[in-house]
């Protein structure tokens, strides 16, 4: 991973800033719990990213991650689904800047709970 080890980066040092951006899945592996109805609300301070999310099968979720100098994200997440289960996982997101100026994230993730399977998702800025 090429993620920054410097947690003291300022927002102005980052080439891309996710603060106050919202994302929703447009494509998912079958074992994912997020759906197009799931909305992620990102906050970023320096290279630290957080998000609260819900919608679809997710009652409430939270993630925390580090953003590298290219806007890629290494994160950990936990969520409660509609079945009342607490699910946890890890994810690495690579960003693409779309022609319309919006951001697309290509995610490789793995559950650290449940069946511990892995998958891929694509999120787009809304």
113: DSSP letter: S
| ∠ CA 48-126-5, rounded to 5° | 15
| Beta-bridge partners for 54 | 39
**How high is the pLDDT of residue 16?**
81
Class of residue 101 by CB neighbours under 10 A (exposed 0-12, middle 13-18, buried 19+): exposed
**How high is the pLDDT of residue 1?**
38
At 4-17, the pLDDT tens digits run 444 444 444 447 89
At 40-67, the pLDDT tens digits run 999 999 999 999 999 999 999 999 999 9
Question: pTM for the complete prediction?
Answer: 0.85
**Dihedral angle, C-alpha 106, 61, 58, 120, nearest 10 °:** 20
pLDDT for 2 beyond 80: no
Residue 96 CA to residue 90 CA, distance in Å, equals: 20
At 66-125, the pLDDT tens digits run 999 999 999 999 999 999 999 999 999 999 999 999 999 999 999 999 999 999 999 999
| Beta-bridge partners for 22 | 41
49: DSSP letter: E
Residue 123 CA to residue 104 CA, distance in Å, equals: 6
| Domains of the chain and any CATH numbers | 11-125 (2.40.128.30)
């Amino acid at each position: 991973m090429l993620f920054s080890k410097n947690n003291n980066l300022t927002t102005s040092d980052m080439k891309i800033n996710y603060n106050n951006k919202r994302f929703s899945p447009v494509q998912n592996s079958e074992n994912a719990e997020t759906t197009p109805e799931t909305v992620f609300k990102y906050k970023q301070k320096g290279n630290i990213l957080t998000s609260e999310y819900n919608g679809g099968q997710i009652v409430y979720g939270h993630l925390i991650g580090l953003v590298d100098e290219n806007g890629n994200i290494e994160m950990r997440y936990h969520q409660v689904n509609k079945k009342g289960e607490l699910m946890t996982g890890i994810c690495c997101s690579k960003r693409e800047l779309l022609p319309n100026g919006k951001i697309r994230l290509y995610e490789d993730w793995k559950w650290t709970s449940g069946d511990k399977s892995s998958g891929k998702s694509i999120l787009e800025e809304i």
